Structures are given as C-alpha cells and as structure tokens.
Amino acid sequence: MKLKISKKDLSKHISIVQKAISTRTTMQILEGILLKAKDNILTLIASDTEITIKTSVSALVLEEGEIVINSRLFGDIIRKLPDETIDIEVASTNMNIKCLNSEFNIQCQVSDEFPDLPRIDEIVNVSIKAFDFKEAIRKTSFAVSFDETRVAFTGVLMDIKEDEINFVALDGFRLALKKLRTQTNQSISSIIPARSLNELIKIIENEEAIDITIGNNSIRFNLDNTVFYTTLLSGEFFKYEGLIRENHSTIVQIDKNKFQNALERASLLAKEDKANLVKLNVGESEIEITSNSEIGNVEEFVDSEVEGEELKIAFNSKYLLEGIKIIESEKIILNFTDSINPCIIQEDEDEDYIYLVLPVRLAN
Amino acid sequence: MKLKISKKDLSKHISIVQKAISTRTTMQILEGILLKAKDNILTLIASDTEITIKTSVSALVLEEGEIVINSRLFGDIIRKLPDETIDIEVASTNMNIKCLNSEFNIQCQVSDEFPDLPRIDEIVNVSIKAFDFKEAIRKTSFAVSFDETRVAFTGVLMDIKEDEINFVALDGFRLALKKLRTQTNQSISSIIPARSLNELIKIIENEEAIDITIGNNSIRFNLDNTVFYTTLLSGEFFKYEGLIRENHSTIVQIDKNKFQNALERASLLAKEDKANLVKLNVGESEIEITSNSEIGNVEEFVDSEVEGEELKIAFNSKYLLEGIKIIESEKIILNFTDSINPCIIQEDEDEDYIYLVLPVRLAN
C-alpha cells in the first residue's frame, strides 16, 4: 500500500470512523482501523460489533493494499501533523508515515482477522431528509431508558407506516414522539440503539437525504461518503399510540423560556429530595410552581393563557425539564387531563412533536 | 438583616468567595457563606481553613445583620434569578429571597460558629503589580510536586530579597523560576500552597497592584474589594540558586511552536512507554528528536541556530513539554551543558524566566 493524501481529509475521515471504536473492546483487532487503498480511494472501516462505520476519501493511490492500524495512535499522529500532504507506505506490517520533517514507523496488523461488513438481508428501503432525521433523533433519543434489563427501551423505535414515520423513545416516566410525514409505502418497525443514533447524527453533515436499509438484525444508513451500520434491538416495544389522548380538559400556552427558568429555579430545592418533586397549580392566567425540602421552599409564578379547568398536578422536575429544554419554539402548549393522567407538551408551531410526561401521584 | 442588591453584583461576589468552599469539608458551617450587611455594604466570607476569602459589594442595607447560608444552594439560586434587583430579608434563621415572580425561603445557620478571619502577625508588607504577579504564578505553579509527603514542594516559594522577588516551584524533575525586579527593602521567604495561588489568580481582575502581608503561618493578599488569606507551608525549600548554571557549552535558538509540535508528535510514541522518553540530537543547524516504543518509532527534525558543541540528550517528554507550552515568545533558547546536566529553557525576550529540566540518563 502506498498513497498520498491531504492531512485535513485523512484527519476528518479518521474522526468519522473513530465513532465506532470502543475503548472497552476485548478484541485487539477492533482497536484498529482497517485501511483499504484502491482506485484512488482510501476506505476506512471501524467497528465495535454493534456499530460499524465505513467511510471513503480521495487519495493518490500509488499501490493498492489493506492494513489495520491502531486507531488512537493513528488518529493522534495524523491530527498533530502539519496541514500538508502525507505520504503513507506500508511494507509487510510496517506503516511509514512521512510529512515534511516528520517520519513515523508504526507496527500494524494484517487485515485478515478484521470482521466483514454486516450483511443486511434487505427488507425495506426508505429515504429521509437528513435535516428531519437529525431533528427526530435529537428530540427523542434523550428519553430512552438506561435500564439494560429492558433492552428494547434503550433504543428509539423507528415505526415506518405507509405515509409517516414515527420516532419514539420512552422510559416508563415519559415518552418523546416525533412524526415525519412522508410517503413510504412500507410498513415495518425497528428499535435502534440510542447510542448508535447519537453517534450517527454527529457525522451527518451536508447530506440532503439519508438512505436507510432495514434488515432483520441490522440497519444501514447511507450518507454521502460514509455508510453507518448498527445492530437492531430485539424485543417488544410499548404500544405507544394508546397513550396519546386527543381530548384535554386544560390547555395552557406559556412562554418556553420563562417556564423553563422558573422550573429550573424550583428544582434547585426539589433536587435536595430524591423525588425531585415540583407542584404545579394551574390557575386562570398563571401557573404557580412550588417545591419544598428540608432546607426551604420556593414559589414561582409564570403568566400563561389557560383554557379549561384549574388543576393541581405534581411532577418529577427532571422529566418535565428535559422535555421542555429540547424544544426550540418561543411558546409551548401544555395539555392536561387531570392530576393523575399524563401531561402532553407540544411546540407552538409543530404538532408533530409530542413529549408526554407522567405526573407523580400525591397522597391526597 | 434586610437588603436590596443587584443580581449581577451578588452573583459575581458569590463566585469569588466560592473559591474558598471545599466540597469535602467535614464542618457543616464551612459549607456556608457568612453574610454581613452593614453601612450599605454586603460582606461575604468563606473558608476551607486553608483558604479564606472575604469580599465586599455595595447593597442597599435596610437592616443590619449576619447569617450563614449554604453556599451551593445560595449560589445556584442567585445565578438562576433574572438580572434584576433582589430583595433579601432574614428573620431568625430563615432567609427570604424575592426577585420578580420568584420567592425562596431558605433555612440558614447563625453566624456564631463561623471561624474568625485569620490573624496575621505582620512581619513584612510588599506590593506587587497584579499583572506581574499573575504571570509569575502562571509560569511557576504548574511545576510544583503533588507528593504530599514532601509538603514544602507542593507550594511555590516566594523569595523576597532587597531588590527582587523570586517565585520558584520544583518537583525533583524540573524547576520553574520567575524573577520580578522590584525594590522591596525586605528579606523573607514563604512557601505558598500552589492550590491557593491558582484560586487567587482567578479572582484578580482589574487590580493595578496587590498588597501582600506576610505573617508567620499565614499570608494575606489585598485586592480591590477582596481579601484573600491562605495558610503557609512549613518546611525547608530547596536551595534553588545553586542549580542554575551560567555557563553553557551548547546554546540553541529554536522556533517555539515548531519545537513544541515536533515534541508533541514524538511524545505520542513516548507515551506508549512509561518513561515518556524522547531523545534529542543537537546538530549543527537542527535538532533531531527521536522516540520509540514497541509499536513503532518516530524521527522529527526542527531547524535551529546552534552555538557550541553537538550533543545527545534524553528527556521525559512530559517535563520538557510542560515548560515549553507555558512560554509565549516566538523563539526560545535551550542551554545545555552536557547529557547529564539540566537543560535551561528561556524565553527569547525574557531572561527573568527560567525553566530547568533534568535529563534522563541513558545506559550508554
């Protein structure tokens, strides 16, 4: 293998595949990046067995070849080289790296043991606008469970229907749902590990659309120069649609920032107790937020437009706040039924996003 | 106690005294800030028994008083309030905090148990330009030892002489010395904990000069609105002046950034071994840097102006790099005697800063 490549290009593509490198792998070969040079393309592949990333970059390939090099060391070296052309030459398992006045020789591994790319038994293929996809993941993936005993809930459900795709995450205390209206003419649902999705959205850049191929056990996302694979989670997902009521007895429109700031202040005292408890008293034209702990109490008032009945309800402030923080609109809508049914939070301008949070039942 | 104060002012001064709050204190009263309101001044005091900080800020004091409030909670509440006037009123041990639509009641502690400010048995008083003082600390304190069994070396020596003050830190592998030329007409040396100094320089802002009062066991730094106390370290400091040779057989002038970058790259391989070993080969017009470990080797060349004899010498790259990184000048001077005596690194324009690093002796 022998090639010339720009430092900036190589450095960027190393960072992309490094998203699939685990620091806790027990397989030494997976601490490495598989490099393949051919037809003036350098391909980089890395995998932690759950996530696999393959990315390609132009290079002047003078001699074809394949080799596996330690990811951390290779990345550190390339990033610290000057912004010039780098010469790479592999002889047997030695990689020689030259750039201006720097020369490295690094011991590599042969590529034979490196795992193959996941085989996708293609079932369904859909295309989603990159912007919509990133937003859907950002607005749902934070709500997954971290409880590894219920592994299906550590993922985001991608529920593909004929004319919409629902992204859903929940953990037993709250649920986040983002609906994308798009004609798919398909029907399939898959549970994608939240960790994988969070890595994936970091490497989406200027893509217009993402091509998604869904198999039985794995899913593939095609970006412009990068292919991202992840295993799917098995298990039954929650029947989320039954949870979302359409009729509400109290509907509140409130300034997002004012409500968030007041809740954050109130939760300073709520945090002192384990329950993180904040109480909302929804009045005619304002919400009163109260919280108390051994060390003191707090009372906050936030102006709001209230339609319907007055209501007292209590929440774990953490779950309420996480949903409000993710919203970008100036105003938000809070939909209540009563003090024991979930509150549904929506953006003022976007009815396709729903954040549902369960209240805490108070003794009397 | 009853007062009105601007949120911004109060928030800023809480941050100042919080530098003296330890998260690991066993005395509950020291988790608090002592507040004293009198004569339209609010004074805040905090202490971790080593560092004590007292700071004062204008307020509209309607009723005098003293109280101790939990530092973390008080800081979090004030910082999260809107940028408006805050009303504080203390009745018995309850503090009522009001600001626009927010109202807190916080349980406080009486001030009786809060420790008194340290008494300084004044021995010596000097004044140092704030800018010079900050620079002297920044350029020396990183070089102290973290070995708590030799406690004197965990501090920075402030060695006051008739016409200069030397700030010195060392850890057995390297030494950093900054000389301030100033007429003091005094002679005393004190060892100040590096941790205290690092907190102190964070709160120096627009001060012209810092007034320093040195006692037997404590030292006091007077800033504009803030007084910073710290205990001194006892024990014998190293007789540092004998270490610094004046005659060198090899003197190298080298570009600081190029040398630093080359050393950083070389140390990527050095890091793989415990010794962090990099070898320098000082030639006629360049320095060759090499390093090797099980996984590979590296060779770097950096152009330089060399006066005197050629030389081979080895260092722990960590100690070499830390000294070079702290330097801001474009060129640096490396002074060598031979391969077993220290290298003295200086800035091109500032002969009053010395960074001395011991080489690693190689088995021929």
Residue A184 sits in the same domain as residue A81: no
pLDDT digits (tens, 9 = 90+) for A214-272: 999 999 999 999 999 999 999 999 999 988 888 899 999 999 999 999 999 999 998 77
Residue B254 sits in the same domain as residue B352: yes
| pLDDT for residue B138 is more than 80 | yes
Query: Hunting for tokens 């859903």 — which residue is that?
Result: A168
Size of interface A-B (CB pairs under 8 A): 83
Is A296 a member of any domain? yes
Strand partners, B47: B52
Residue A17's pLDDT band, with cuts at 50, 70 and 90, is very high
Residue A239 sits in the same domain as residue A133: yes
- Contact call for A73 and B297, based on CB within 8 A: no
Average pLDDT over residues A74-102: 98
Is A199 a member of any domain? yes
Calculate the alpha carbon distances from A210 to A155, A184, A200, A207, A213 in Å: 19, 14, 11, 7, 10
Task: Provide the token pair at B9.
Answer: 């002012």
The more confidently predicted of residues A124 and B362 is A124
Nearest to B360 by CA among B301, B318, B316: B316
Residue B131 sits in the same domain as residue B203: yes
Q: What is the CA radius of gyration of chain A?
A: 25
Average pLDDT over residues B2-16: 98
- A323-335 b/e with 16+ CB inside 10 Å = b? bbebbeeebbbbb
Residue B98 sits in the same domain as residue B192: no
- Contact call for B297 and A104, based on CB within 8 A: yes
pLDDT digits (tens, 9 = 90+) for B21-77: 998 888 999 999 999 999 999 999 999 999 999 999 999 999 999 999 999 999 999
Q: What does the alpha-carbon distance between residue B346 and residue B355 come to, in Å, rounded to a whole number?
A: 6
Average pLDDT over residues B280-286: 96
Tell me, what's the pLDDT at A364? 59
**Which residue type does B328 have?**
E
pLDDT digits (tens, 9 = 90+) for A36-60: 999 999 999 999 999 999 999 999 9
Is B119 a member of any domain? no
Structural domain containing residue B201: 124-242
| pLDDT for residue A129 is more than 90 | yes
Residue B138 sits in the same domain as residue B194: yes
Residue A26's pLDDT band, with cuts at 50, 70 and 90, is confident
Residue B286 sits in the same domain as residue B311: yes
* Contact residues, chain A, for B102 at CB < 8 Å: 262, 265, 298-300
Task: Provide the token pair at A125.
Answer: 């293929």
The minimal CB distance from A268 to the residues B73, B268, B300 is found for B73
Residue of A nearest to B291 (CA): A104
CA distance A311 to chain B (A): 20
Tell me, what's the pLDDT at A208? 95
Residue A19 sits in the same domain as residue A96: yes
Q: Are A43 and A36 in contact (CB under 8 A)?
A: yes
Please say which residue of B80, B113, B146 terminates a domain. B113
Q: What share of chain A is helix, strand, coil (3-state, %, to 5)?
A: 25, 45, 35
Angle between helices A194-203 and A130-140 (to 10 degrees): 140
The more confidently predicted of residues B246 and B255 is B255
Please say which residue of B211, B242, B273 terminates a domain. B242
Q: Are B310 and B282 in contact (CB under 8 A)?
A: yes
Q: What does the alpha-carbon distance between residue B125 and residue B303 come to, in Å, rounded to a whole number?
A: 47
CATH label of the domain that carries residue A178: 3.10.150.10
Is A139 a member of any domain? yes
Residue B364's pLDDT band, with cuts at 50, 70 and 90, is low
The minimal CB distance from B296 to the residues A80, A102, A105 is found for A105
The minimal CB distance from A302 to the residues B101, B294, B302 is found for B101
Please count the structural domains in chain A. Answer: 3
Is A119 a member of any domain? no
Complex ipTM, two decimals?
Answer: 0.91
* Contact residues, chain B, for A104 at CB < 8 Å: 265, 269, 296-298
Please say which residue of A243, A263, A287 terminates a domain. A243
Nearest to B55 by CA among B291, B186, B261, B222: B222
- Contact call for B262 and A101, based on CB within 8 A: yes
Is B84 a member of any domain? yes
Calculate the alpha carbon distances from B354 to A84, B20, B178, B357 in Å: 34, 31, 7, 10
Residue B226 sits in the same domain as residue B297: no
Strand partners, A315: A278
Task: Provide the token pair at B227.
Answer: 């007084």
pLDDT digits (tens, 9 = 90+) for B174-209: 999 999 999 999 999 999 999 999 999 999 998 999
* Contact residues, chain B, for A300 at CB < 8 Å: 101-103
CA distance B158 to chain A (A): 37
Residue B49 sits in the same domain as residue B137: no
Q: What does the alpha-carbon distance between residue B29 and residue A333 come to, in Å, rounded to a whole number?
A: 44
Tell me, what's the pLDDT at A70? 96
Residue A135 sits in the same domain as residue A233: yes
DSSP for A54-86? EEEEE-EEEE-EEEEEEHHHHHHHHHHS-SSEE
Residue B143 sits in the same domain as residue B163: yes
Average pLDDT over residues B227-252: 93
Is B97 a member of any domain? yes
Tell me, what's the pLDDT at B122? 76
**Mean of the per-residue pLDDT values for chain B?**
95
pLDDT digits (tens, 9 = 90+) for A293-310: 989 999 999 999 999 999
pLDDT digits (tens, 9 = 90+) for B352-362: 999 999 999 98
Is B212 a member of any domain? yes
